[in-house]
Amino acid sequence: MKVYTLVQLAEVGLFFAVLLYALLPTPDTHPSLAVAAGGLLVGKAVMNILAPEGGSVLRRTLLGYGVGALLVAVGVILIHR
């Protein structure tokens, strides 16, 4: 297995762990953290969706996580309005 693949799997595992932590039923809930973890997962998904089109990893990373950041911003605004 390539190092790049291992890094991607580790990222997804970390993002999922953050999402689970944010959703734990505790007195102190973390909805913004859940939205952030979801945005990271969306960013990773968009990055992988763009892979067949080619382009550098940097380009795909910036586009993917840019879309994720936009969705996180919208989600946090909706939570705290």
Asked whether the beta carbons of 79 and 31 are under 8 A apart, the reply is yes
* The total number of structural domains that make up the chain: 1
Q: Is it the case that residue 31 has pLDDT exceeding 90?
A: no
**Domain range for residue 42?**
3-79
- The per-residue pLDDT for 72 is 94
pLDDT of residue 20: 87
Tell me the CA distances in angstroms from 21 to 26, 36, 60, 77, one per residue in order.
10, 12, 28, 21
pTM score: 0.78
Identify which of 3, 36, 42, 39 has the alpha carbon closest to the alpha carbon of residue 21.
36
